[in-house]
Chains A and B, each alone.
Chain A
Amino acid sequence: MEKIDDAAAPVLPDSDLMEIEKEHFTIKEGKVYLIGSRSRSTGQTSYPACQYSYETGDTNVVSIEIGPFGKLYSFTSLMKKKEQEQRKWFGYIDFPCGARVFAPLQDNLTAAQLKCDMDVILKAKNDDWYAAVELDRD
């Protein structure tokens, strides 16, 4: 953030809630990419996009596309409500650009089908994205 020369000038808040109200992704030629950020000053990559560069605090940040391929760092499943029969799987995906992203995984999985460091690919359904374990690099 650039210094405001007028020492008495009002400082306005970030409208960061506007950014987190929806998932940011795009589909190009059938491939799903997350719209994240990269700091020009530190190289830090992030999804969701980060308005600031860690360590320097500057806002010299550009939009980047992350994906579609990544590796499953770790994973778990949750059944948030007792009445739900199907468990929902989540995991951390490590992308080659250096970003780690918390991701919903595809439905109908079992623990036996998942393994740390396995390849995953981003997919989209309706207004949301997820990570799938079956690879289709065509």
Chain B
Amino acid sequence: MENVYLISAAMTPFARYTNSSYSGLARPVILQAIQRANLQLKDVEAVFCGNLFGGSLVGQRAVRDLGIGTVPIFNIENACSSSGAALHLAAKAIEAEQYDVVCVLGVDKLSQFGGGPIPMVEEDYEARRGVIMPAVYAMRARRYMYEYNVATETLAAVTVKSRRHANKSPYAQFRDLTSVEEVLASRVIADPITLYQCCPTGDGAAAVIVCSEKIRRQYEGDAVAIMASVVHSGAPTTGYRDMTWPSISEQSALSAYDEANINPTELDIVELHDAFSIAELIYYEALHLCPRGKGGEFLISGKSTYDGDVVVNPSGGLLSRGHPVGATGAAQAAEIYWQLTKKAGNRQVKNARLALSHVTGGGISRLDHGACTVHIYKAA
């Protein structure tokens, strides 16, 4: 992908905002993103809005009071990948010279459900049988531990690292440091996954401005180039599937590496989809950051944190930054924009030049995942 850039980002801290509507969450970040890009509202030629639980016309509701009513507004639902998919469609539209300036918004409000796991699709057989997302990842964890002789302490160490990163981020929902013992002592949600190994339910919004080469040249601030933008959906099967190997994530990553013409060892930062502790380990492997079965060793040896091989989830990731489902893809892009433009404050990864974001949405049986989105970025 060429001539597609991020030139600003804005985001709410992820938290429970019971007094804010979807519009209330989204409007401030849209305005800030436009202003930080030194643009006017009238410069925005299209809005791509990712969300899962917002109901009808979330994007239109978000921009109605800003007067951006007449441009094309697209609402994209792809579960956790919703705003990742929105970014993909926006980037493709810019690359195709359909627009010069678009706003990508991700927003969701999980506090509306009170707490607990996100609702599943009732028409789905496994959901009606009682499956919830923590159970799916718990069965992945159980199988992974069995095949690779990994201890529960290794799973818990994912959360410990996540909180350590989030401790430096003003956007993270959980910032307090924790220990392996504390993580394992928290309530069992889906054996062997405990509460602290699950991403929190929360609310939030994030927006990025995506633009063409023409607009980037006019812009005097810092820009980040999008080098690859990939979406894959999972292959269906009613038969045996290796739950320790998320092929949709691997295929998406390989397509992105090919498009960007880079090697995974060149990455400085990865924001990956750590919805549950086990996810981080298997996604290290699927993204080819380490060999298969070595995710635990990669974590414990410190290769996925500051001063390691690659800093994974400097934002704290889904486990600590939070996961208002439809907002996550845009939040990852925002974090990477700040990191690659040296605006990330005391969580800044030194000399970061190349980054990858990975967000993958599941929730229905017979698919590995519904949609996986991978983007690769370079400091421009």
Query: Which residues of A come within 8 Å of B, CB atoms?
Result: 17, 20, 44-48, 50, 54, 73-80, 87-88, 90-92, 94, 98-100, 102, 104, 111, 115-117
Is there contact, CB below 8 Å, between A44 and B130? no
Taking beta carbons and an 8 Å cutoff, which residues of B are in contact with A? 123, 125-126, 128-132, 134-135, 138-140, 142-143, 146-147, 188-193, 236-241, 243, 365
User: Which residues in A have their C-beta under 8 angstroms from that of B193?
Assistant: 76
Residues of A within 8 A of B134 (CB): 78
Q: How far is the CB of B311 from the nearest CB of chain A, in Å?
A: 31
User: Are the C-beta atoms of B142 and A102 separated by less than 8 Å?
Assistant: no
From A17, A50, A87, A90, contact of B129 by CB (8 A):
A90
Nearest-Cβ distance from residue A103 to partner chain B, whole angstroms: 8
Complex: chain B residue closest to A73, CB-CB:
B143
Chain A residue numbers with a CB within 8 Å of B241 are 100
Residue of A nearest to B138 (CB): A76
Residues of the B chain whose Cβ atoms lie less than 8 Å from the Cβ of A100 = 238-241
* A76 pairs with B143, CB closer than 8 A: no
Closest B residue to A49 using CB positions: B238
Which chain B residue shows the least CB distance to A92?
B139
Residues of A within 8 A of B138 (CB): 76
B146: A residues at CB distance < 8 A: 74, 115-117
Q: When the two chains form their complex, are residues B190 and A76 in contact, meaning their CB atoms are under 8 A apart? A: yes
8 smallest CB-CB distances across A and B, nearest first, come from A46-B238, A76-B138, A74-B139, A116-B146, A74-B143, A77-B191, A102-B126, A76-B190
Given known pairs A88-B130, A102-B126, A102-B131, the reply for A74 and B140 (CB within 8 Å) is yes
Interface centre among B138, B146, B193, B239 (most CB of A within 10 A): B239
**CB-CB < 8 A to A45: which residues of B?**
238-239
Q: Which chain A residue lies CB-closest to B237?
A: A54
Contact A90 B239 (CB under 8 A): no
Question: Cβ of A74: which chain B residues have Cβ within 8 Å of it?
Answer: 139-140, 142-143, 146, 243
Can you list 7 contacts pairing A with B, beta carbon distance less than 8 Å? A47-B238, A78-B135, A78-B189, A87-B191, A92-B243, A100-B238, A115-B146
A90-B130, A100-B238, A116-B142 known; A48+B135 contact, CB < 8 A = no
Q: Is the CB of B238 within 8 A of A90?
A: no
- B190 near A102: Cβ-Cβ < 8 Å: no
Whether A90 touches B131, Cβ cut-off 8 Å, given contacts A48-B125, A76-B138, A100-B239, is yes
Scoring A75, A78, A87, A88 by chain B CB atoms within 10 A of each residue's CB, the highest score goes to A78
**In the complex the two chains form, is A44's CB within 8 Å of B238's CB?**
yes
Measured CB to CB, the closest approach of chain A to B4, in angstroms, equals: 35
Q: Are A91 and B139 neighbours in the complex by a CB distance under 8 Å? A: yes
Measured CB to CB, the nearest residue on chain B to A91 is B139
- CA of A44 to CA of B241 in the docked complex: distance in angstroms? 13
Contact with A102, one of B191, B239, B365 (Cβ below 8 angstroms): B365
Distance of A78 Cα from B240 Cα, bound (Å): 23
Q: Say yes or no: B191 contacts A111, CB within 8 Å.
A: yes
Q: How far, in angstroms, from A79 to B117 measured CA to CA in the complex? A: 12
Q: How far is the CA of A77 from the CA of B139 in the complex (A)?
A: 9
A76 touches B135 (CB 8 A): yes
Q: Contacts of B191 on A, CB cut-off 8 Å?
A: 76-77, 87, 111
CB <8 Å contact, B140 and A20: no
